[in-house]
Amino acid sequence: MKKLTYVVLFLILSFQPSWSQININRVLAAGAEDTKLFAENYLTPGLDAVAYSLSSGWFTSAKSKKLGQFELSFIGNAAFVSSSQKNFELNTADYNFLEFENGSSIQRVATVLGENDPSIQALAVFEDENGNQQSVGFTLPQGLARTGLDQVPTAFPQLSIGFLGGLEFKFRYLPEIESDDGSLQYYGVGVQNEISDWIPGFKLLPIHLGLAANYSVFKGDIKLGDTPIVDTNNGFLESEFSVWSFSGLVSTKLPVINFYAGLSYISASSDFGLKGDYALNEGVNSGETIRDPFVTSSSVNGFRGTIGAKLTLAFFRIHADYSIQEFNTVSAGISFGI
């Protein structure tokens, strides 16, 4: 499992790009404050894409399972990335020391989801202890699009169990996975309740109605290596975020193929930071060691509309759906249960 796995999606297992493309600790040449501002703009779209992807695929019907019924699902999601989410406007007036090598003051540069084509050269421009102007050049990080991918995928198992009162509980869990490159952990819990029985005479209609709420937590970090500008000791990019989703559901009552839809509200928050010791060989803080350069946070809120279909063959089911949201998402999976 390569390092970009942990940066962009944290649960992506399907590609193996070079970590050097997105190594943000080179920006430390311009100082910790400039690196923090750059990281907020560079990483936040990727974190938002992960949040929307992880909040998808929770439901395939408005009908709740009965007491004792269960279903084990294996679900994959892919959040699509638009062109506007692949880059951001970097204005050097917002930075203390970061400038563009070509002399421009405003330029669109890649987020963690995008690509700089051609590469964009930046400078850390500062005065030394003698008052002389100095500059150190470095290449701005690339992103996911450099690998040719325009989606942010996620994958996980999900267990659904029916309880009394029309309640159905759902669980997602990936234990902590460690490697030489970092670690990750993910878990989620959800509850769904069919409300069709609450409405007099509604059982006569060919549809089910339901409500659902889901909560997910992701924790992960990636280890960072040395660059010509920075010697790294126990350095890593740490991330932790939580995602809530609240949904109203409707589905058909057909025997084999059913259709379902949902309207959801998504609320996610994340904390991420650059941890460890970074000895600067060049740049604003040349000769110094910066410990834990920054910690910052972001949040995203929005609505999602979902429509999908589910095929049931005895104990085997297969489903697919499409969600319209800030990051439009396709979800598909297979399930086994009673």
Domain architecture of the chain: domains with CATH: 4-337 (2.40.128)
| Strand boundaries in 2-150, DSSP class E | 70-80, 87-91, 98-100, 106-110, 121-127, 133-139
Report the C-alpha gap between 79 and 326 in whole angstroms.
Answer: 9
Beta carbons of 148 and 18 less than 8 angstroms apart: no
Beta carbons of 181 and 220 less than 8 angstroms apart: no
Report the C-alpha gap between 44 and 50 in whole angstroms.
Answer: 10
Residues in a beta bridge with 179: 182
Report the C-alpha gap between 166 and 194 in whole angstroms.
Answer: 6
Residue 22 confidence (pLDDT)? 59
Cα 50–chain centre separation: 2
Residue 15 confidence (pLDDT)? 38
Q: Which among 334, 337, 329, 335 has a CA at the least distance from the CA of 307? A: 329
Residue 10 confidence (pLDDT)? 45
Q: List, for the chain, all residue ranges whose pLDDT scores fall below the cut of 70.
A: 1-22
CA angle 280, 292, 154 (to 5 degrees): 110
Tell me if residue 224 falls in helix, strand or coil: coil
